[in-house]
Structure 1
């Protein structure tokens, strides 16, 4: 089968999974893509995101809605701050790019701001690629691309991404600018939020590198991105350079590990559908037919986290207790397996995890053992083992 019909068949299958061709796919943004890359073993999220299923509506239909994300107030404040940073054809944003990322270049007294409007995400992606090519060829000038559209292949399915801005420097190199509404206090922002922004920017850099690879010669995509935040408690912009080389390498490696969406879809039974308006029992059976890899980190990144947590707990999976503990337990994947191995009822004694569990069980039993009448009690312990009252 030629590539075009094969791709059309895959897209048709994905449309069936979300409820039919009349149901528009939900866009996968860089934040969701970074969360997907952080858990590449979760086939459930991969197929739902690849098919464009509305996971928020799906979680509500399953009776396990997840409450997270930005409030409407935060979104409004963020949009107002971004508009201020980009006012005057991006003069302030370009000034921050110049002073923070490229101070040796000529100051951006005049800059090009090309029109990137086009029909559909495919048209906007093509228009962005053309604007990048033209701006790179016109060396010696600054160019600001406001909300360009980039495409990134994820597990065999195209994903369209929209960074806040991409700047083409006078030397022809490209850099990403991310505008966030969380404050930068005394020159430093919340490390957790900066880390999330860096992972998001790493996705944009990977998409830009795919565009650059199609040009000859390929321009340099800078791995230091510009993070713009409100200064202290004002609405004035402050900027810092964030090195995202580590995040880019990790994200690229994790995305490469994702099972192809076509392979996951082919493994599903005929008629499987994730439309939120289906009966709850049928919808739950369809969702549970796709393996998930739940971890507590999912609670901050996935709309189906509460549903998957309930299923993980019901199955006694140790992943519900966290990835570090799961890694320590080796081949013991359920709580029952762990308890059985700790008691000596199962497990290979030469297995380091089993040996550690049995050693811990013996130490616990020794610590809780009642002392003999002639045996001195441990220092500080009460003979009657009553708990001292709180003062």
Structure 2
């Protein structure tokens, strides 16, 4: 391992708090990060393994999403059923009903050891036979930092192709599942395909196997989900991320995101890293409510959504938007200003209000 990598790891540990264990970055969080590549705050805290949920609690703006204990237990029970008896159900859903599969032992010391065992198992899969990797560990370079990812399963088919299997506890009803949940699962699975492509390009199939309960039973069923679009978007967005060491280099000396720090100090540390808040963050980032409060306090248009923020161009505050909408029309006005002024005039006409100019 290079000296630079050692230095970055030590720096990230200091940012997290030397006595604070790192929180692993999973595919769900990575997919959310890829959806908002301009957020340096999330990129840095995720790379450092900071527990953003605990930080949000200290800041007084806790996240309001998450999985209940009941749903968590139900998910584990369903996954255990899918993988019971040598993964017989999973093999059936893969189209190999009655076949036998090798299930190599992937246990090893530490994440680096488990990732190495995963690579070895993929390389040594028996040609012409099925091999199933139960919770393999994959690696992906994200903004100069190594991320470890753990899919539910990866199947190696007799023809050598790799298939990612995602096991979810939400049901497939009458042959279809909730579109939002399927979309989230597809984005998550695309991260795993991207990690497999980093090992051997072209071996991983771009249609993943989504395994869910059928209707209201606990009987597993599955559908193939094409993740080519999600894969392309994730690859492009991750490439846009600013490298972690560049973000860390801009921080004041002594910056630390330890959730046990005093609230004032932790608030200053979090606010020292630029964020790119959007309402979509509320669904998948633990710090979203803190960032929303800061965005509103700054009168920022970020709180109105990414699409509108992009349309408004140089108008970055709500106050400037309102002022622009009331400004007299000029032929050389900025396109965003002209559109706002036209919208204000149409609104006034529709409501029979006196014109603003």
TM over 0.5: yes
Whole-Å Cα distance in 1 between the matches of residues 340 and 17 of structure 2? 48
Provide closer, same or farther for how the CA distance between residues 367 and 234 of structure 1 changes in structure 2, counting only shifts above 3 A.
Answer: closer
Per-residue deviation, 1:370: 6.5
Offset at residue 110 of structure 1 (A): 1.6
CA distances 1:78-104 after superposition (whole Å, capped 9, x unpaired): 0000000000110110111126xxxxx
For residues 187-230 of structure 1, the C-alpha deviation after alignment (integer angstroms, 9 at most, x for no partner) is: 110010000000000000000111114xxxxx621001000000
Q: Which residue matches 2:14? A: 16
What is the CA deviation profile of residues 2-37 of structure 1, one whole-angstrom value per residue up to 9, with x for unaligned ones? x711111111110110111x3211000000000000
- Are the counterparts in 2 of residues 143 and 169 from structure 1 also a CA contact under 8 Å? yes
Q: Write the mapping of 1:208-287 to structure 2, written as runs, cut at 5 A.
A: 208-213=196-201, 220-287=203-270
Partner of 1:64: 61
Report the Cα distance in structure 1 between the residues aligned to 2:351 and 2:227, rounded to whole angstroms: 50
Q: Give the whole-Å Cα distance in 2 for the aligned partners of 1:347 and 1:89.
A: 73
Counterpart contact for 2:329–2:338, Cα < 8 Å: no
1:151-170 correspondence to structure 2 within 5 Å: 151-170=139-158
Q: Are the structure 2 counterparts of residues 347 and 17 from structure 1 closer, same or farther at C-alpha, using a change threshold of 3 Å?
A: farther
1:121 and 2:104 are equivalent in the alignment: no
Q: Do structure 1's residue 194 and structure 2's residue 182 form an aligned pair?
A: yes
Cα pair 1:98 1:108 within 8 Å, conserved: no
Superposed displacement of residue 282, structure 1? 1.0
Residue 348 of structure 1 and its aligned partner are, at CA, apart by 8.6
Give the aligned partner of residue 25 of structure 1.
22
Q: 1: CA distance between counterparts of 2:146 and 2:95? A: 33
Pick which of 321-330 and 143-152 moved more: 321-330
Instruction: Output one character per residue of 1:98-141: Cα deviation in whole Å (capped at 9) or x when no partner.
Output: 26xxxxxxx55221110000001000000000000000xx2110
**Where does the alignment leave 5 or more consecutive residues of structure 1 unmatched?**
100-106, 214-218, 372-391
Q: Would you say 1:143 and 2:131 are equivalent positions? A: yes
Q: CA 1:226–1:77 in structure 2 vs 1: closer, same or farther (change >3 Å)?
A: same
What do you get for the CA RMSD once the two structures are aligned? 1.6
The 1:367–1:178 alpha-carbon spacing in structure 2 relative to 1, beyond 3 Å, is closer
Q: Pick closer, same or farther for the CA change 1:366–1:349 going to 2, 3 Å.
A: farther
TM-score by length of structure 2 reads 0.96
Structure 2 residue 280 is the aligned partner of structure 1 residue 297? yes
2:91 corresponds in structure 1 to 94
Partner of 1:102: none
| C-alpha contact 2:22 2:49 (8 A) present in aligned 1 | yes
State the Cα distance separating 1:349 from its structure 2 match: 4.1
CA distance in 2, matches of 1:327, 1:119: 47
- 1:196 and 1:64, CA in 2 relative to 1: closer, same or farther beyond 3 A? same
| Whole-angstrom CA distance in 2 between matches of 1:341 and 1:161 | 47
Q: Does 1:205 align with 2:193?
A: yes
Q: 1:101-120, aligned counterparts within 5 Å?
A: 109-120=99-110
Q: Residue 31 of structure 2 corresponds to which residue in structure 1? A: 34
Q: Secondary structure at the match of 2:94?
A: helix
Structure 1 distance, partners of 2:200, 2:68, is 36
Contact 1:108 1:142 in 2 (8 A): no
Distance in structure 1 (CA, Å) of the matches to 2:331 and 2:59: 40
Distance in 2 (CA, whole Å) between partners of 1:188 and 1:369 is 48
For the residue of structure 1 that corresponds to 2:133, the secondary structure is strand
Flag the structure with larger Rg: 1
Q: How far did 1:267 drift?
A: 0.8
Q: 1:347 to 1:339 in 2, by over 3 A?
A: farther
TM-score (norm 1): 0.88
Task: Name the SS for the 1:327 alignment partner.
Answer: helix
The whole-number CA distance in structure 1 between the counterparts of 2:46 and 2:174 is: 38
Residue matched to 1:130: 120
